[in-house]
Amino acid sequence: MAVAQLDLKREYNHFRIEIDRALAKVLKSGHFILGEEVRALEEEVAAYCGAAYGIGVSSGTDALYLTLRALGIGPGDEVILPSFTFVATAEAVAYCGATPFFVDVDLQTYNLDPNKIEDALTPRTKAIIPVHLFGLPAPMESLRELAKRYSLLLIEDAAQAFGAIYKEKRVGSLGDAACFSFFPTKNLNAYGDGGMVVTSREEVKERIKALRGHGSRERYIHREIGYNSRLDEIQAAILRVKLPHIDCLNEKRREVAYSYSQALQGVVKVPMEPLGSYHVYHQYTIGTKVRDRLREHLERQGIDCQVYYPVPLHWQEPFKGCPKGDMEGTERASQEVLSLPIHPFLSSKEVEEVIEGVLSFF
Ligand SMILES: Cc1ncc(COP(=O)(O)O)c(C=O)c1O
């Protein structure tokens, strides 16, 4: 039996009646851009995260870019971020004309290593972007202390971690602003592109709202060059169907993760969940020195698995000249990680199959 990484058809079938009804409502309203659905979703996501405002934008990448712009990041500035992340985190910095400064990750969590940040600070450092990679919150307490001590902005890349909790607070409420992606594979997912910035800083909210709509705060008055980067009503309506179920969907991912970890502990490196963190397992990522051979073995049995990320950003062509610290954890991670199938609709039979697939290799 083949096991897929993700199955969006099963998901749609599960929510079909509610989604079809929500879509029909939007289609009948004749209102497709920045209407009631986006406004309501912005409020609901902000309230869920424990922040004051949500601003719907067209993708997680734009959420990052517009946030950096709204916070005044520009040419000559340096922004600290991991190299072991999706390329969009660094692209957003580059779009602003600023320089990404890559810092290593902790090999236990695959998140930014706060102990390596002070070595990367220069008079040009303006911000830190921790990525809550694979759904596990970054060590925000240490990062907040550093940001405070050195007067740096702290922007959460929460694209992979909707619903994750750090020391009793949801991700999204732990820095100056947080950026979510609603790409179809994400834990809270649209059926197309979408994203949201969450912040409690009113001036940041106002600036992002202006930037996402052609730099306009009053209709047809443009005080700066902006963009067309809006979340649309159809995607917002789909997201509003799923948002009330997100805790349950994340719990199902955690059940799958628990079964994997029980069976695979001691055989491969299983994901860790530090005390006080609630991991939402956007990915269930194991580590092993024989990663490539294990992957081939699983794929031969029809078990879909992926490597996030095989080439760290400091080795990617556009970022080769960027400043960086030592990259020991990052480079090892890129050689040893393997993400197994995980989603809320995986059956127990499929979970067993994946476990047997891994165990049969060893
Ligand atoms: C860590 C991270 N940051 C940013 C993004 C960009 O989000 P999007 O694809 O919605 O632009 C993604 C996902 O694709 C991501 O995984």
Residue range 210-254, pLDDT digits in tens: 999 999 999 999 999 999 999 999 999 999 999 999 999 999 999
Task: Give pLDDT, residue 93.
Answer: 98
- Indicate whether residue 131 lines ligand 1 (CB < 6 A): yes
Pocket test for ligand 1, best of 86, 136, 156 (most atoms within 8 A of CB): 86
Q: What pLDDT digit, counting tens, does each position of 301-313 carry?
A: 999 999 999 999 9
Q: Could you read off the pLDDT of 60-109 as tens digits, one per residue? A: 999 999 999 999 999 999 999 999 999 999 999 999 999 999 999 999 99
Per-residue pLDDT averaged across 297-303, rounded? 97
Ligand 1 atom with least separation from CA of 160: 16
Is 271 within 8 Å of 257 (Cβ atoms)? yes
d(CA 240, CA 18): 10
Sign of CA dihedral 10, 182, 238, 278: positive
Q: Is the dihedral of CA 102, 140, 88, 76 positive or negative?
A: negative
Ligand 1, atom 8: closest residue by C-alpha: 60
Backbone angles phi, psi at 286, to 5 degrees: -100, 165
Question: Tens digit of pLDDT for each residue in 39-60?
Answer: 999 999 999 999 999 999 999 9
* Residue count (the chain): 362
Percent of the chain with pLDDT over 70: 100
Contact 284, 257 (CB under 8 A): yes
CA of 349 to the centre of ligand 1 (A): 31
Closest-CA residue to 255 (of 123, 339, 344, 350) = 344
CA of 194 to the centre of ligand 1 (A): 10
Report CA 217 to chain centroid distance, whole Å.
Answer: 29
Q: Is the pLDDT of residue 268 over 80?
A: yes
In the numeric block, which tokens belong to residue 148?
Answer: 């405070």
156 pocket-lining for ligand 1 (C-beta < 6 Å): no
The closest-lying atom of ligand 1 relative to the alpha carbon of residue 61 is: 11
Architecture of the domain whose range is 246-361: Alpha-Beta Complex (3.90)
pLDDT the model gives residue 169: 98
Residue 283, ligand 1, Cβ within 6 A: no
Which atom of ligand 1 lies closest to the CA of 193?
10
Q: Is 160 in the pocket of ligand 1 (CB under 6 A)?
A: yes
- For residue 194, give the ligand 1 atom closest to its CA: 10
Ligand 1 site-directed mutation target among 89, 181, 193, most atoms within 8 Å of CB: 181
CB of residue 183 inside a 6 A radius of ligand 1: yes
DSSP letter, residue 303: B
Q: How far apart are CA 87 and CA 83, in angstroms?
A: 9
Residue 137 has pLDDT above 80, yes or no: yes
Beta bridge partners of 268: 265
* 33, 41, 359 from 232: Cα distances, Å: 5, 11, 45
3.40.640.10, 3.10.129.10, 3.40.50.300, 3.10.180.10: which CATH number matches 8-103+114-244? 3.40.640.10
pLDDT reading at 1 higher than 90? no
Regarding the beta carbon of 88 and ligand 1, being less than 6 Å apart is answered yes
What's the CA-to-centroid distance between 356 and ligand 1, angstroms?
32
Q: For residues 176 and 153, is the Cβ–Cβ distance under 8 A?
A: yes
Domain ranges of the chain: 8-103+114-244, 246-361
Instruction: Please tell me the distance between residue 29's alpha carbon and the centre of ligand 1 in angstroms.
Output: 30
Neighbours of 23 (CB within 10 A): 16
Predicted local confidence at residue 4, as pLDDT = 95
Q: Is the CB of 61 under 6 A from ligand 1?
A: yes
Q: How confident is the model at residue 294 (pLDDT cuts 50, 70, 90)?
A: very high
Mean per-residue pLDDT of the chain: 98
- Ligand 1 pocket, 176 CB below 6 A? no
**How buried is residue 140: exposed, middle or buried, by Cβ count under 10 Å (0-12/13-18/19+)?**
buried
Position 149 pLDDT exceeds 90: yes
Answer yes or no: is the C-beta of 98 below 6 A from any ligand 1 atom.
no
Which residue, among 40, 10, 1, 9, has the nearest Cα to 235 in the 3D structure? 40
Atom of ligand 1 nearest to the CA of 59: 10
The pLDDT value recorded for residue 106 is 98
| CA proximity to 12, closest of 2, 1, 23 | 23
pLDDT at 126: 98
